[in-house]
Every structure is written in structure tokens, then in C-alpha cells.
Chain A
Amino acid sequence: MSLQKPIMRGLLAKRLRFHLPIAFALSLIAAAAFKYGVTEPRKQAYADFYKQYDAMKEFNGMKEAGIFESVRPSGE
């Protein structure tokens, strides 16, 4: 009843060989998911917003609402 000699060396290397590719793959997937799930939609949202943006119209809307102190609504 003699047992096989267990593996004495290279244990960390063996673990890294298995886990490092997985780690890199998952990190890349996480980065890609964030880029295409968050940053690209956000950039698109900003582009769409400013395509049809009329600054004077927005300013007049805010002025009439009465939130400014330097310029009051046209009624007063």
C-alpha cells in the first residue's frame, strides 16, 4: 500500500496558468460591458441633447419661471 508521491513544486505556477487567463478575460469583459453599456449610451445621449438645443429658448423659459436674480420675468 504505497501512495503516489504528491506534487511538490510549481503549485503557484499551475494555479496561475489556470486562473490568469480567466482573470484577464473577465476583466476585459467587465471593461467592455461598462464601455458599451454605460459610456457609449451616455455619449449618445449628450450628442442627441445638444443636436436640437436652443440656448436662447431655454434661457427665456428659465427667465419666465423666475429663478434668476439678475433678470426678472417679463411681467414684472
Chain B
Amino acid sequence: MLTSRALIRGLQSGLWRGVSSTSALQAGHGKAVDMMDCTVPQYNNRLDTPLPDVPFVTILDAGQEKLKEKEKGPWSSLSKEEKLALYRMNFELTYPEMRKGSHEWKTVVAGMLFFLGFSGLLVWWQRIYVFGDVPHTLSPEWVEKQTQRMIDMRVNPVDGFTSKWDYEKKQWK
């Protein structure tokens, strides 16, 4: 039972991993995301780290090489598109793009509720097929005798149990 549920979660995370790894990432690093080299500094999109350790794109093609050469000169000679291209070479996402968020929470809540419901079914089955009978002290006759005895003993007469019982009329208030 438990292993099958772990299997499903593993499948789901594999699905999501495929969605999150874009071709742009592979262009920058030259290999699949599953085999990150953690011995070298990594690029990251984090709100609290404005300047990551390495630029996003490290393997430059011919056009990007030419741009990098032009960057060594005066920046006023760069056009707006060239400045944006240089930005995108250094950074994958802008701050607004990082803050954007996604619709993932809906999947998460849906999965959570689904498995909660499934657990409910299991608990129901267990109640019917596993548990034995409830103790005799919970039968209605016993509870009736118990309640009468509690009233006789004046249990919690100020704020609690027998404060709700009318001793003159012999009924609940």
C-alpha cells in the first residue's frame, strides 16, 4: 500500500522535473539537468542573491561572442536590444519573472485532498473489517444509567453537566 503511493509521487516529481528543465538551461550548461556538477559554482534564480556566482549562459555562440567583445568598449554604443541580450546572457529570469509564481498549488491541493480521501476509504474499510465490537459501556442502556448516576452525584453543578438539569421538573433545562 505504502510503496505504491511512493511510486505515484516519484512519477509525479519526474513529470514536473521534465516541465521545469528548459532547453535554455541545457544550452547554458551543455548537459541534462539530472547530472548537475555540484563541484563548480552554480547559477541560481533567487530573490535574495542578486548576483549569482556564474552567468547564466557560459557557452557562447558566434553572435554572443561578438556581443561580449562589443561590451568591452563604451556601453553607450550598445543598442537597447544588445543590452537586453547581454542581460539575458547573464540572467535567466528578471525579478518580476521570479516573483510571478505558478499554478502548481492547485495540483498540490488537489493531490493532497485526493490522498486524504483515499485514506478515508482505507479507514472506513478498517472500521468495518478490522475493528471488533465497541465496549458494552457505550451501549444506549448503559449510557442512560450512567447519565442518571451523574445527575444523582451532582456532577459540575455550577457551570457544567448538572447545571443544565432541572431538579424540580426532573428534565433538561
Q: Which residues of B contact A49 (CB under 8 A)?
A: 157-158, 163
CB distance from B156 to the nearest CB of A (A): 11
Query: Considering only CB atoms and an 8 Å cut-off, how many residues of chain A contact the other chain?
Result: 10
Dominant SS among interface residues on chain B: loop
Q: Which residues of A contact B163 (CB under 8 A)?
A: 49
What total count of A-B pairs have CB within 8 Å?
Answer: 20
**Which partner residue on chain A sits nearest B159 by CB separation?**
A45
Dominant SS among interface residues on chain A: helix
Listed stretches A9-17, A19-27, A29-37, A60-68; interface member:
A60-68
**Which partner residue on chain A sits nearest B158 by CB separation?**
A49
CB distance from A11 to the nearest CB of B (A): 14
A69 at the interface (CB under 8 A from B): no
Of residues 21 to 70 in B, which have CB atoms within 8 Å of A's CB atoms? Answer: none
B154 at the interface (CB under 8 A from A): yes
Q: How would residues 21 to 58 of chain A score, 1 for a CB under 8 Å from any chain B CB and 0 otherwise?
A: 00000000000000000000010011001000000001
Q: Which residues of A contact B167 (CB under 8 A)?
A: 61
Contact surface of A with B, Cβ cutoff 8 Å: 42, 45-46, 49, 58, 61-62, 65-67
Contact surface of B with A, Cβ cutoff 8 Å: 149, 152-154, 157-159, 163, 167
